[in-house]
Structure 1
Amino acid sequence: MTGPLTQPAAPATNRPVQREVEVVGRRPVAAYVELTLAAPEIAAAAEPGQFVAFAVGGPLSAALLRRSIAIAGTGEDTVTVVVAPHGVGSTWLTGLQPGDRVDVVGPLGRPFPLPSPGTSALLVGGGYGAAALVPLASALAAQGSPVAAVAGAASADRLCSLDELAAAGARVEVTTDDGSAGREGLVTLAVDELIGDAGVVYACGPMPMLRAVASAATDRGIPSYVAVEEAMACGIGVCMTCVLPVIGADGRSRFARSCAEGPVFGGDRVRFADVGRLPADLLGADAMGVLPA
């Protein structure tokens, strides 16, 4: 790790609300489903990088845990999300139709910090993670920052939000692992070509991609911010299931909650190699019986 640590994402300036809202729009987006919700209070308060948490399965459901989904856009009274049907809860969400109602809490989490106006930015999205970067691209463009975006996926049907990123003012490069759209290869292929022109880098997507992008930025002394996709069981910082090891401003490592202290972290602060582990040097690890190797 070179140079000073990236500053942590600033706390959100808003307060979340819980509301039962109406689904006012639904459309397939490749392998995903885009839902538009009538949620004026959330729309008015949301900042780029934040998310909402849905109750799933209906009022009689045995699914007690919420599903957290990044905000992909806001209108005057609406919030848009892109849902990937992975498990029971997210698959239920993709089945919602206009006129249905769903319980939602938001906006939640720490947003992406914006650089000084005019700072050039590189945005990197993996799969449906690109949807979370659309509001950021709009905010950057509005303050006069040149924006380049790389959207990558395993295949063409896993790409997301290409038109929305372009409409927000970003120059968009596309990569797919199998070459079915754009250039064949990982997102790092385009990142390595574009990162030299960036004053700041942002990324959202699978953890291996975030690790590679953050490493590329750190190696060049460029600040980076990553929105992690850790599973969030509660979305409000209570259950501690979404923790990952993060280096604090004091240089000590401790578990941080992705939903409360994140989902946006400085890219050089996340200990990607130790995600899913309890490192012995983590603050408090001794109290949990972890000894140095």
Structure 2
Amino acid sequence: MTRAATGPVQVTGEVLGVKRAGAFHHLTLVAAGVAERFRPGTFVALTVGGDLSQRLLRRTFPIYRARPTGAYGGTVEVVLATGDDGSDWLSRLGGGARLDVLGPLGRPFALPKEPVTCTLVGGGHASAPLFGLAERLRERGCAVHMVLGAATETRLFGALEARRAAKTVIVTTEDGSVGMRGSVSAVLPDLLARTSTDVVYASGPHGLLHAAAEAAEAHGAWSQTAVETDMPCGTGVCQACVLPVVGEDGVTRMVRACTEGPVFRGDRVRWRDLGTVPSGTWGAPPPAPTGGPAR
């Protein structure tokens, strides 16, 4: 019996095409070896900029889909939100363009060993990795429900595909342009109760992840959250993606989203302390004295 390939690889990828997906861009690459190693929740790091690549850091993207076989070999798909030089450059690539691909990287979503009821929660283009996850969950006999949210209709991703991937789909937009007006946090508690959800998986902005983790905890469900943050190197070297996470021993440590994550247990991330080193964190300096002794 042949063992599945594991660990990331660095390969020269070839662009099959880039197409618009609402406000986003959907990029498909031929990347031999990456698709075969894919697990939902992992990501790729792409070089950007062509001749300017020495001046621009890699860009990291969650893998939307990976197909190990096909007419062109193994392919990997990612979803881009433009607005920075690197992502803008990627969105303009034509078929046949080549770029360096490193992946799959990171810690993936943990899959249940037995059939359970799962609710998947996504925000904007960060919903992309949930669709590969939904496929794996259904293969294991799990019931899948989905909640997708965004600011406006154009910022949603995968609303039509969700109806093929899940038994229940709820869409929310902050401006009410499609689905229910409001945020996912308003509809999630009721859905978890109605479906008797056992596990919540979430991918999106930090506020959405925090809300999903809190709703899961209140319901008595497990939660797994794919943290969305800048990961300039993708390999843990630059230390630019650290966040405070509570370990099994109850101690807070600053861990790297790109290597220890990007998937974390939702109840372990100190969401309100993101961007800081909380007091009592392992290895952090003690707080400075606030004043001298009373006289």
Query: TM over 0.5: same fold?
Result: yes
Q: Which 10-residue stretch deviates more, 213-222 or 61-70? A: 61-70
Greater CA deviation, 183-192 or 147-156?
Answer: 183-192
Say if 2:31 is the partner of 1:39.
Answer: yes
Q: Which residue matches 1:220? A: 219
**SS of 1:254 mapped into structure 2:** strand
Question: Please, which runs of 5 or more residues in structure 1 have no aligned partner?
Answer: 1-12
1:56–1:63 Cα contact (<8 Å) kept:
no
Match of 2:95 among 91, 94, 98: 98
Name the structure 2 match of 1:19: 11
Residue of 138, 150, 175 corresponding to 2:147: 150
Quick one: which amino acid aligns to residue 259 of structure 1? C
After superposition, residues 225-244 of structure 1 pair within 5 angstroms as: 225-244=224-243
Q: 1:59 Cα shift? A: 3.6
Residue 191 of structure 2 corresponds to residue 194 of structure 1: yes
RMSD: 1.7
Superposed displacement of residue 169, structure 1 = 4.0
Change (3 A) 1:216 1:292: farther
Instruction: Say whether residues 1:164 and 2:161 are aligned partners.
Output: yes
Q: Contact 2:189/2:219 (CA < 8 Å) preserved in 1?
A: no
Q: Which residue of 2 aligns with 1:3?
A: none
Deviation at 1:64, TM superposition (A): 3.6
Pair 1:264-2:256 in alignment: no
Indicate conservation of the 8 Å contact 2:56/2:86, yes or no. Answer: no
Cα deviation code 1:10-64 (max 9, x no counterpart): xxx8211111111112210000000111113100100000000011101443434
2:178 is paired with a residue whose SS is coil
Count residues in correspondence: 280
Counterpart in the other structure of 1:8? none
Whether contact under 8 Å (2:40, 2:108) holds in the other structure is: yes
**Which of these two proteins has the greater Rg computed from alpha carbons?**
2
> Are 1:35 and 1:82, in contact at CA under 8 Å, matched by a contact in 2?
yes
Structure-2 separation of matches of 1:133 and 1:122: 10
Q: CA deviation at 1:220?
A: 2.1
**Structure 1 residue 292, shift from structure 2 partner:** 7.9
| 1:278 Cα deviation after fit | 1.2
Output one character per residue of 1:240-273: Cα deviation in whole Å (capped at 9) or x when no partner: 0000000011110000100000000000000001
Query: Which amino acid in structure 2 is aligned with residue 231 of structure 1?
Result: D
Aligned equivalents of 2:59 and 2:134: distance in 1?
25
Kept in 1: contact 2:146–2:166 (CA 8 A)? no
CA contact (8 A) 2:235 2:259 kept: yes
Deviation at 1:170, TM superposition (A): 4.7
**Match among 121, 142, 147 for residue 118 of structure 2:** 121
Q: Secondary structure at the match of 2:129?
A: helix
Give the corresponding residue for 1:251. 250
For 1:218 and 1:256, the matched residues in 2 are separated by 22
User: Is the Cα–Cα contact under 8 Å of residues 118 and 143 in structure 1 kept in the other structure?
Assistant: yes
TM-score (norm 1): 0.92
Q: 2:288 & 2:272 partners in 1: Cα distance?
A: 18
Asked if structure 2 preserves the Cα contact closer than 8 Å seen for 1:30 and 1:157, the reply is yes
Deviations along 1:82-140, one digit per CA (max 9) or x if unpaired, are 01003111111111121111111000000000113320000000001110111100000
Percent identical pairs in the alignment equals 47
Q: Does 1:29 align with 2:28?
A: no
Shift of 1:195: 1.2
TM-score normalised per structure 2: 0.91
Mapped to 2, the partners of 1:139 and 1:63 lie a distance apart of: 38
For residues 42 and 205 of structure 1, what CA distance do their matches in structure 2 show?
23
The one-letter amino acid paired with 1:48 is: P
